[in-house]
Structure 1
Amino acid sequence: MIAQAPGRYIALGDSFTEGVGDVSNRRPNGVRGWADRVAEGLASDCPGWEYANLAIRSKRLRHIIAEQLEPAVAMKPTLITLYAGGNDVMDFGTKIADILADYEVLVAELVQTGATLVLFTGYDVEVSPILSPLRRKNHAYNDGVRLIAAKYGAILVDYASFSAYANSRMWAPDRLHMSKAGHKYLASRLLDILEVPHGITHKTKHRAPTITAKQWVREHHAWVTEWVLPLVGRKLRGTTLGDSLSPRWPEPVRVPPKKGLKKLAGKIPDARSDMGHYS
């Protein structure tokens, strides 16, 4: 599906694409993520690929349009991945019609580059009854993304339908971002869709052990205390975890076909970051 020649891959979006949940203190912003793994898979199969990742955690569609669209187009990409809108869906008072209208504006601009465009639905994470009102919005968002992907001829990665993510091991402690295993699995699925041979292995057969009711109460309390309340607090203050961060790979880099981006990370200022803990 991808031409058998090196190209330029640009990743756009928020924490999903930045790599939050896949902690790696040796890489920019303290994370790795599926997009890095895809870039490395492309370069391993066909040396010469270049890669930039402009995604920053907590960004809404308006931020991605204002901050990432113009630089991405200027880089003349041949492959673009975009996940955007998930944070907008989670915001109180937002309307799906408005979210999808902005999303389509962004997609229409990216299509004009002539690059292969990859879009994603959003997984329906069942973390707690506290967040259940958001599920209906997420379903409507996914339906809209599917229609827009078909309208503009984009490749759709229907992440929402991947049954492997029913396994709790695929999720980070905050229950909203993928774990290392989750990022690896998504990278392998996307490379498969792009028909790029790769050696990424993933283990999804083993599920987390069954816990007692007492353990569940203790873990749920810890989750609310460590993740939910800080999230609500940030929303009330109008701050986000991405406010002080820059893109991980802001300019296209030539991905080494053997050691991958790990070889380049040491050359990037502040590549060792404490931002891998994203609470």
Structure 2
Amino acid sequence: MTFLIIFSSNLHTPMYYFLSCLSFIDLCHSTVITPKMLVNFVSEKNIISYPECMIQLYFFIIFIISECHMLAVMAYDRYVAICSPLLYNVMMSNKICFWLVSGVGTIAVLGATVHTACMLRVYFCKDNIVNNFFCDLLPLLKIACSSTYINEVVILAFTSFNFFIPTLTIFSSYAVILFSIFRIQSTEGRSKAFGTCSSHIMGVALFFGSAGFMYLQPSSTNSMDEGKVSSVFYTIVMPMLNPLIYSLRNKDVKIALKKMLERRKFS
């Protein structure tokens, strides 16, 4: 999807610019988790060193935070396009798009740095068996033998910010969009717009629902076995479904993909 959007001139718009960024984030997100997970499936001993675990944790946090805020940016872009079409080119100029993506990256790197720095101060002296298929915050804290109070406060604060701010932005944007859709007199136009919004909301609900189930539960009631199931959705399933939900259902993307395949076949 990233290369398709880069090399198709008709897709050089803010909407597809954000879609390419989301596709890149999904690719990196899966790359951090999936290769090591697949190796563990065929290995007799599932071992990861402490430095590798911290590196995996750091980049995992970067990309999951990036995805949260990128989904919010995409919802805002759709809000401007549908509710203020005459001002769209001004409100979503190249400069503003760049600063929005830069802001997403800055928030993600800051959050990952704080979480990883807090994790580095924790001592592990138990069985050192992580009850998950990758190094995540809560499973690591479960095997700590030093105080994790600061870590839990940081997780609650950052998770609340990275969960509620994007969620509020997304659902506020789509609430206004849906209100505008109901004012469309054309039945066909209303159906098309509503179908696009419903698919986006479904993807957002799956991603934030599974992530929120993992990170927003009190530590006393959090089950690692249930957490592993929910983490499968936001680490593996959603990166796989996002191209289908946000891109391949789009007519412009289908046309660009068809042209690129025909060009390669001709060459």
Q: TM-score, normalised by structure 1?
A: 0.25
The structure carrying a bigger strand percent of its residues is 1
Q: TM-score, normalised by structure 2?
A: 0.26
**Looking at CA atoms only, which structure, 1 or 2, has the larger radius of gyration?**
2
